[in-house]
Chain A
């Protein structure tokens, strides 16, 4: 997983980022920007599943590992932009907030949202990952050889 936004497909990057955000976080950051925009639903938030796949031997043929709960929705802003969200878990409010941000990122407000919503999410995710990686690193074994008493 990348710590920074994918520059080739920024939309993919911000949608992924919001899918991994903790519960309620996108909505609270969005609220800091101002009153939410008005929109109409293209698809009201809906809970379903995605079949997660793995590969035999990590690199071979795919197999079905099990399902993941997912919430999705789509909406159109009154100004015409369409926002989508597909996020892990059963989180309708979070899906709505992510779809609103996705749509707003296609408007003139993109820079504002980048700064107020996406940048904090990026740094928070990096912090969470780094904290966990640092704890894992502390459990790394440093082998050393005992002196052999043969001479």
Chain B
């Protein structure tokens, strides 16, 4: 039941004013600007872009500042802004084979064309706090070496040549869009991938981890992980040809999974796929594992009843804005709802006899 009440305006205004003051913090400390957040907290910016489902580093940085560093609140701001934008069109599918790779590693092949490129990674750091960062100082320029030219081929291409891995044949079916049509089951892979790429990183990580621990285990290897820029090309109707309208940094993970074969498929390696805005490899690997788990039906595998195999469970709970919206609304006034519950409990107790209540109280 909903009843409109008034009276909180001044309290709300004052709360917002205090929020602004607390956001600014101690005024004797220099204020952060949006460009500093964009450049120096870039992985937070990437997460807000990926889960906010809008690639715009400046806006994501602004949202992080406004949200006082609460990334889900920042994602909420980006999602809200996104809905105000007119949609000019859709891009041609990006060609990750033509990615200018900052990082490209394979856990399955040591020597592979293009090599193992570590890129700006936290891997192999000692995870010891670096107190030098607490002091100001210039960072020396990173070393350079002559680079190979040409595209870096995908690892799965080598396995494809031997027929040992399932193929991903090109298909140009226009994909469904959950930002336009409500998510409905059964969800095809294109819809699942869209939901997963914008899904909460923590939720996706937890589900992916559950598959590694044995809930629908699918023995994933990281066939390839690559991070870098790809151009975005869109058809311009008024011109009659496509132009590159920009470029985005993406993280792509292809897993190679053990597969004994099923009623419909021969023994071969199968694949899981993760593709995420920005440098976000934990998310991309998680996405690939969950994608692979959700493919049980099309690969003719058994449903083991694992959470990561349940598309409805995964997709309806993966969106942190939906989840937090419903979760946090219960803190808002429910006075009338609660009043009716109170009445009900009182009635039940009266019906059961008040004597017992007295005993319990004593």
Residue A138 interfacial (CB < 8 Å): yes
Residue B232 interfacial (CB < 8 Å): yes
> By CB atoms of chain B within 10 A, which of A54, A61, A69 has the most?
A54
How far does the Cβ of B155 sit from chain A's closest Cβ, in whole Å?
A: 10
Residue B357 interfacial (CB < 8 Å): no
Interface stretch among B128-136, B193-201, B337-345? B193-201
Query: Which residues of chain B have C-beta atoms less than 8 A from A49's C-beta?
Result: 54, 82, 85-88
If A20-B247, A50-B90, A51-B90 touch, does A143 touch B111 (CB 8 Å cutoff)? yes
Cα distance A109–B124 in the bound complex, in angstroms: 54
Per-position 1/0 for B188-208, Cβ under 8 A of A: 011101100110000000000
Check if A88 sits within 8 Å of B143, measured CB to CB: no
Check if A86 sits within 8 Å of B168, measured CB to CB: no
Query: Which residues of chain A have C-beta atoms less than 8 A from B173's C-beta?
Result: 61-62
Check if A54 sits within 8 Å of B94, measured CB to CB: yes
Check if A87 sits within 8 Å of B245, measured CB to CB: yes
If A49-B85, A56-B193, A72-B88 touch, does A19 touch B55 (CB 8 Å cutoff)? no
Residue B96 interfacial (CB < 8 Å): yes
Query: Which residues of chain A have C-beta atoms less than 8 A from B246's C-beta?
Result: 19-20, 68, 70, 87-89
> By CB atoms of chain B within 10 A, which of A47, A49, A74, A137 has the most?
A49
Closest to B90 in A: A51
Our pick among B111, B238, B277 for the contact of A66 (Cβ within 8 Å) is: B277
How far does the Cβ of B296 sit from chain A's closest Cβ, in whole Å?
A: 16
How far does the Cβ of B347 sit from chain A's closest Cβ, in whole Å?
A: 51
Cα distance A134–B236 in the bound complex, in angstroms: 34
Our pick among B85, B154, B277 for the contact of A58 (Cβ within 8 Å) is: B154
If A49-B82, A50-B87, A138-B143 touch, does A133 touch B247 (CB 8 Å cutoff)? no
Q: In chain B between 92 and 117, which residues have their CB closer than 8 angstroms to a CB of chain A? A: 92-94, 96-98, 100-103, 110-111, 115-117
Check if B198 sits within 8 Å of A1, measured CB to CB: no
Cα distance A97–B179 in the bound complex, in angstroms: 32
Query: Which residues of chain B have C-beta atoms less than 8 A from A48's C-beta?
Result: 85-88
If A56-B190, A61-B175, A65-B277 touch, does A135 touch B247 (CB 8 Å cutoff)? no
Cα distance A49–B198 in the bound complex, in angstroms: 17
Query: Which residues of chain A have C-beta atoms less than 8 A from B189's C-beta?
Result: 56, 61, 63
**Interface residues on chain B, number (Cβ under 8 Å):** 86
Per-position 1/0 for B161-177, Cβ under 8 A of A: 00000001111111111
Check if B169 sits within 8 Å of A52, measured CB to CB: no
Q: In chain B between 121 and 154, which residues have their CB closer than 8 angstroms to a CB of chain A? A: 142-148, 154
How far does the Cβ of A136 sit from chain B's closest Cβ, in whole Å?
A: 5
Cα distance A53–B179 in the bound complex, in angstroms: 13
Our pick among A19, A58, A129, A138 for the contact of B96 (Cβ within 8 Å) is: A58
Cα distance A51–B179 in the bound complex, in angstroms: 10
Query: Which residues of chain B have C-beta atoms less than 8 A from A15's C-beta?
Result: 243-244
Chain A interface (Cβ within 8 Å of chain B)? Answer: 1, 9, 11-12, 15-16, 19-20, 46-70, 72, 74, 84, 86-90, 129-141, 143
Q: List 26 A-B contacts (CB under 8 A).
A: A12-B243, A19-B245, A51-B90, A52-B55, A52-B91, A57-B273, A59-B170, A63-B175, A63-B190, A63-B193, A64-B176, A65-B194, A65-B277, A66-B277, A69-B54, A69-B55, A70-B246, A86-B88, A89-B58, A90-B56, A134-B144, A134-B146, A136-B228, A140-B116, A140-B118, A141-B118
Give 8 nearest A-B pairs by CB, closest first. Answer: A88-B246, A57-B168, A16-B244, A60-B168, A134-B144, A133-B147, A63-B190, A137-B147
